[in-house]
Structure 1
Amino acid sequence: MRARDLPSAIERFLLSPFSLLLAVAIAFVLNAYSLPLTDVDEGAFSEATREMMARGNLVSPTLNDAPRHDKPILIYWAQAVSVSALGVSEIGFRLPSIVFAVLWMLALYRFCARHADRRTAQVAALVMALSLAVGFVAKAAISDALLNLFIALSMFGIYDYFCAERDGKPAGQTRRLLFYTYGMLGLGFLTKGPVAVFFPLLVSGLFFVSAGAWRAWLRAIFFWPGWLVFLAIVVPWHVAVYLDQGDAFFRGFYLKHNVNRYSNTFEGHGGKWYYYLVVLPFVLMPFFGWLLAIVGKLAGRLRRAPLGTMRGEGLFERFLLIWFVVVFAFFSFSGTQLPHYLLYGCTPVFILLAKYRPDFERRWLAYMPLILFAVVLAALPEILTFAAGKAGKPFEKTLLDGLVVAFSDQARWLLPLLAVAAIGLALWRSLPVWQGLLLAGLLQAVMISAIIAPRVIGVTQGPIREAAQVARDAGGTVVAWRIIMPSFSVYRQAATPTRVPVEGELVLTRTDRQSEVQALLAPGLRMNNLYQKSFVTLARVEREGQP
């Protein structure tokens, strides 16, 4: 093949189904079946599902035998189905997220194909699959892939309803769209509560009013058969959990994890109004520069869409932009801020990037954020070595020393490859920008899934998995002291309460807190270490002088 024909071959590959399959295999699946569950979130969701199945109570999740009110039930049911088929394993708990992420991607593809074209749909699906944050939630045993699927499906149903009203479609078709949308709202609510309904209602209201279609919006809002569908999905489990627990879930979830989480900082996850301005480049990496490159083109398109009319150009883009801005603004003023919250508003960004993909314009602006990110990754071994030398706390020092060793192998020369490739693609002036960035996205996904994640998770979670196996083989009662690692309970397949141990029990604690546990033991008792590695210690409490 001649060099000048290579860009055409790359385009054919990127627009073929094989590129989507490759993106899913690398970003969603690679190593999801083998890497240890991460704490706290993956471990907490997985252990709650395991305990729910072990107790035979499919209504009220618990975590280490204490009620867990963080989320509604749907993700636990999905994980329970998967674990029933695949067993208590990493892939058993993660498979639902992989499946939901693929469905999210396919829904995005179909929506773009309806309202744009198939080339745009293909590129949007690739951008989504290869974005850094999507890759993380797609292979994590948490609820975010499922929630993003239902938020996206709800929003897609809303815009389809708008188009049906605008185009004068038969009443039967608009009613079917409303039934469908309310169904998605109900499933989203059963996944994460009010947030799955709040954003679709607010975004749809702003959009319909801006398009002069407020009457159509009111007809949708007061479509009582749709609300019956919503209630039929949501109410039965809420009644069941009330009968099982009383009002504990309602106080714990709706008051603590919704109202209080928004107004106050939870678990140290506070931020500033500019938090998501800093986070957005990493969430979209390697495509943030792509977004910068198309801002002017997108702004020009929106100026041609006059407010207050259901006709005219730019309505599709306006809907997508309102969707993103509402999510971005809402969480920017939240008391609790986490990077993955922004994903609820990133589906429209994936579509806008695909619709306004740059060919040869603003090339270096499109590539520069990726190059800077890749340079940081290339310097990661040196950064870790420097941080380890500065660490003062024993826990931090132990982790960083472990990471330094983990990245001292072939990773030292593998990590710079992304920076070299990014610079090379930027210099390849005959290759369209969007194609080069998608190729870089595939390489970034390989770098994260095959090089960085195994080393980081191996150091931070590997000892927990090993300690759990030792504890399971040793048998007896196991407790934890000042260490929050729910994945330990998953691997041990038994709940691990937190308290001071007594004679004959095993205790899991951080290595730097072993002396603290010893000081709390009754006189004449000592800790006999069964396992100690990195920051993890597992010991049996025995009588002094006992062999």
Structure 2
Amino acid sequence: MSPPAPARPVSPLTALLNSPWTLALVVWLAFFWQLGAVPLYDLDEGAFTEATREMLASGNYITPYRDGAPRYDKPVLIYWLQAASVRLLGFDEFALRLPSALAAALWVLALWRFVREHLDAATATVAGLVMALGLQVALIGKAAVADAVLNLFIALACFDIWRYWCRRQAAGAEVRTGADHWLLARVSLWLGLGFLTKGPVAILFPLLASLLYALTSGGWRTWLEAVLNPRGWLVFLLVAAPWYLAVWMDSGPGFWQGFFLDHNLGRYGGVKHGHAGFPGYYLVMLPIVLLPFTGWFLSLLPMTTRLWADPLDRFLLLWFATVFVVFSFSATKLPHYLVYGITPLFILMARHRWALTRPWLAFAPPLLLFTLLVLLPWLLAPLAGSARRAHEVAQFAAAAQVLDWRYALGAWAALLLVLGLALATPARALGLWQRLVLVGIIQTVLVFGLVVPRVFAVMQAPVREAALVARALDLPTVVFRTSLPSFSVYRQAITPSVEQPRPGQLVFLRIDKLEQLAAAAGDAAVLVPVYQRGPVALVRIATPAAANLTTPLGSP
């Protein structure tokens, strides 16, 4: 067993941070504050929400479509949740992101309840704070994609697997109770809902992590009996099978082939959407994903042998290691894949928080992040000099404008606050973990109050504006060699992609595609500029005679 934390007086700050009310406030700050304040981002949010919009418009709640074509990337649950939210609250960014925020809040609640049950209330609250304030968790909790929902179900499944294991160990291998059957049914429910959210990945990690734990603990028979339990399979099939059967009946084998073969096996064996990575990709990304708590995590590494000796710690280590190793061998690599395995790290960090004793290790990662954010306006010039494509040049120019004195003031204030916490005289009221939690609050306010709105103003606000212009013009509108599906969301209409636009059509495209558009339209067509800002443009295709009679709207 892990040694108990050293006895020490509880300071007012520690008591405040251990309060569930503080955790509730942090959950609001991390997942609900600024939820609808910025435009949807492309590619992911645009693709998910356009599929939801078309589901509502068509009344087909079985097969997701994006811009009129079947979308086989993900199963259906996230679209149903977003559609329900939009029905209740109206069609806007807040409603589309609300299911993710609620899922993230429930994810924290599930973690808090589990840790309180198996450790203590104070550790539960600290684990919840660290999780909610972690950079990547907060990002996916505010994104209209499937990941927060998936992580909720993975966590619930793993937590109930551990509960089941503890009950079986306490009661004896031959004794089964109604509570055991209920826990197995719950695990199957979470796996089924996860399978409806993102497919096989929702099953793989809970089962693989629990198998490895069973093998290292001499309980493989208990694991095998649980996996083969017919009641569990019945619950899983009742939850997941109806939709998978319905989508086959609605659209044939297309989803099965596209999702299971292309977007699962194909994504693991080949690179999707250019998201390749080198062999040590996740060794580099893990410290970023865990910010500002990277040093806290690193303080656990010398304790690995001691952690392995404790049953719960070993289960948590195997959960993380399973995700880390499996995705390290995947050809497609993305930072948020790691999130499937960092829930156990937050528990380990909270449980062993007194092992964080080196101030330089605790504060070096967040100080580096905040310093880079302060220096960002000066780093833009050399970065802009390396840009070659027109849309990248335009984005750097726009970024130079939004990183104004307000940004500088906020970034400097945040850096000085973090520096003050780092240099604070050690005292009972300012332990290292308490100070890092305060850094997490500062990071959340800075990132979502200052950084994200400016990034989205550069990258996504022009897409939204172009869509609103196109919607007002009400012309036949197409997309040319550009994948920014939020344009269709804001235009509230399907926007087909074409290779040869015709006269009379309004064309949405990235500005680096303008020369290609002119070549595709041919000499008999005239490109009439309608809108251009930042990386995107709207162009009307006209005949020479029609172009002479038209005054273009121009660009702001």
TM-score computed with the length of structure 1 as normaliser:
0.95
Q: Which residue of 2 aligns with 1:217?
A: 223
Q: Which residue of 2 aligns with 1:193?
A: 199
Bigger CA drift: 445-454 or 78-87? 78-87
Q: Which residue of 1 aligns with 2:511?
A: 511
Name the CA shift for 1:23/1:223 in 2 (closer, same or farther; >3 Å): same
> Is 1:473 aligned with 2:472?
yes
In the TM superposition, what are the counterparts of 1:501-540 in structure 2 within 5 Å? 501-540=501-540
How far apart in 2 are the matches of 1:121 and 1:517?
Answer: 57
Q: Which residue of 1 aligns with 2:83?
A: 80
> Is 1:162 aligned with 2:161?
no
Question: Could you tell me which of 17, 34, 42 is aligned with 1:14?
Answer: 17
Q: Which residue of 2 aligns with 1:340?
A: 336
Deviation at 1:20, TM superposition (A): 1.7
Deviation at 1:86, TM superposition (A): 1.6
Query: Contact 1:480–1:508 (CA<8 Å) still a contact in 2?
Result: yes
Q: Which residue of 2 aligns with 1:296?
A: 302
Deviation at 1:422, TM superposition (A): 2.3
Deviation at 1:155, TM superposition (A): 0.3
In the TM superposition, what are the counterparts of 1:32-71 in structure 2 within 5 Å? 32-71=35-74
Query: Contact 1:323–1:345 (CA<8 Å) still a contact in 2?
Result: yes
Name the CA shift for 1:444/1:128 in 2 (closer, same or farther; >3 Å): same
In the TM superposition, what are the counterparts of 1:209-358 in structure 2 within 5 Å? 209-302=215-308, 305=309, 314-358=310-354
Q: Which residue of 1 aligns with 2:552?
A: none
Q: Deviations over 1:113-146 (max 9, x none)?
A: 1111000100000001000000110010000000
Letter matched to residue 530 of structure 1: V
Letter matched to residue 541 of structure 1: I
Secondary structure (helix, strand or coil) at the match of 2:504 reads coil
Letter matched to residue 504 of structure 1: G
How far apart in 1 are the matches of 2:139 and 2:304?
Answer: 28
Q: Which residue of 2 aligns with 1:451?
A: 450
Query: Contact 2:153–2:191 (CA<8 Å) still a contact in 1?
Result: yes
> Is 1:379 aligned with 2:379?
no
Letter matched to residue 148 of structure 1: N
Letter matched to residue 370 of structure 1: P
Query: Contact 2:296–2:356 (CA<8 Å) still a contact in 1?
Result: no
Deviation at 1:18, TM superposition (A): 3.1
Deviation at 1:545, TM superposition (A): 3.3
How far apart in 2 are the matches of 1:321 and 1:104?
Answer: 19
Letter matched to residue 392 of structure 1: R
Deviation at 1:190, TM superposition (A): 0.7
User: What is the alpha-carbon root mean square deviation over aligned residues?
Assistant: 1.5
Letter matched to residue 501 of structure 2: P
Structure 1 ranges of 4+ moved more than 6 A: none
Deviation at 1:46, TM superposition (A): 0.1
How far apart in 2 are the matches of 1:261 and 1:481?
Answer: 26
Deviation at 1:359, TM superposition (A): 6.9
How far apart in 2 are the matches of 1:387 and 1:80?
Answer: 40
Deviation at 1:379, TM superposition (A): 0.9
Q: Which residue of 2 aligns with 1:311?
A: none
> Is 1:423 aligned with 2:422?
no
Deviation at 1:170, TM superposition (A): 5.2
Q: Deviations over 1:298-325 (max 9, x none)?
A: 53343xx2xxxxxxxx100000000000
> Is 1:489 aligned with 2:495?
no
Secondary structure (helix, strand or coil) at the match of 2:541 reads strand
Structure 2: unaligned runs, 5 residues or longer:
1-8, 550-556
Deviation at 1:413, TM superposition (A): 2.5
How far apart in 2 are the matches of 1:223 and 1:337?
Answer: 34
Deviation at 1:390, TM superposition (A): 3.0
Query: Contact 1:509–1:536 (CA<8 Å) still a contact in 2?
Result: yes
Letter matched to residue 387 of structure 2: A
Q: Which residue of 2 aligns with 1:414?
A: 410
Secondary structure (helix, strand or coil) at the match of 2:404 reads coil
Query: Contact 1:105–1:125 (CA<8 Å) still a contact in 2?
Result: yes
How far apart in 2 are the matches of 1:535 and 1:223?
Answer: 55
Query: Contact 1:290–1:367 (CA<8 Å) still a contact in 2?
Result: no
Secondary structure (helix, strand or coil) at the match of 2:545 reads coil
Question: Could you tell me which of 105, 119, 126 is aligned with 2:108?
Answer: 105
Letter matched to residue 466 of structure 2: A
Letter matched to residue 527 of structure 1: L
How far apart in 2 are the matches of 1:522 and 1:368?
Answer: 57
> Is 1:175 aligned with 2:181?
yes
Letter matched to residue 476 of structure 1: L
Query: Contact 2:467–2:490 (CA<8 Å) still a contact in 1?
Result: yes
How far apart in 2 are the matches of 1:170 and 1:433?
Answer: 45
How far apart in 2 are the matches of 1:425 and 1:534?
Answer: 39
Query: Contact 1:298–1:356 (CA<8 Å) still a contact in 2?
Result: no
Secondary structure (helix, strand or coil) at the match of 2:299 reads helix
Deviation at 1:518, TM superposition (A): 2.0
How far apart in 1 are the matches of 2:16 and 2:377?
Answer: 34
Name the CA shift for 1:360/1:315 in 2 (closer, same or farther; >3 Å): closer
Deviation at 1:76, TM superposition (A): 0.6
Query: Contact 1:294–1:357 (CA<8 Å) still a contact in 2?
Result: no
Bigger CA drift: 450-459 or 400-409? 400-409
Q: Deviations over 1:90-111 (max 9, x none)?
A: 0111000000000000000000
How far apart in 2 are the matches of 1:49 and 1:287?
Answer: 35
How far apart in 1 are the matches of 2:388 and 2:352?
Answer: 49
How far apart in 1 are the matches of 2:466 and 2:536?
Answer: 8
How far apart in 2 are the matches of 1:9 and 1:523?
Answer: 75
How far apart in 2 are the matches of 1:445 and 1:299?
Answer: 33
Secondary structure (helix, strand or coil) at the match of 2:151 reads helix
Question: Could you tell me which of 204, 211, 215 is aligned with 1:205?
Answer: 211
Deviation at 1:425, TM superposition (A): 1.3
Deviation at 1:386, TM superposition (A): 2.3
Q: Deviations over 1:464-509 (max 9, x none)?
A: 0001110101002100101111000000000111112211111101
Secondary structure (helix, strand or coil) at the match of 1:496 reads coil
Secondary structure (helix, strand or coil) at the match of 2:435 reads helix
Secondary structure (helix, strand or coil) at the match of 1:485 reads coil
How far apart in 2 are the matches of 1:247 and 1:338?
Answer: 28
> Is 1:370 aligned with 2:366?
yes
Deviation at 1:331, TM superposition (A): 0.3
Secondary structure (helix, strand or coil) at the match of 1:358 reads helix
Bigger CA drift: 388-397 or 362-371? 388-397
Letter matched to residue 227 of structure 1: W
TM-score computed with the length of structure 2 as normaliser:
0.93
What is the percentage of aligned positions where both structures have the same residue? 45
Deviation at 1:513, TM superposition (A): 2.0
> Is 1:142 aligned with 2:145?
yes
How far apart in 2 are the matches of 1:114 and 1:73?
Answer: 33
Secondary structure (helix, strand or coil) at the match of 1:545 reads helix
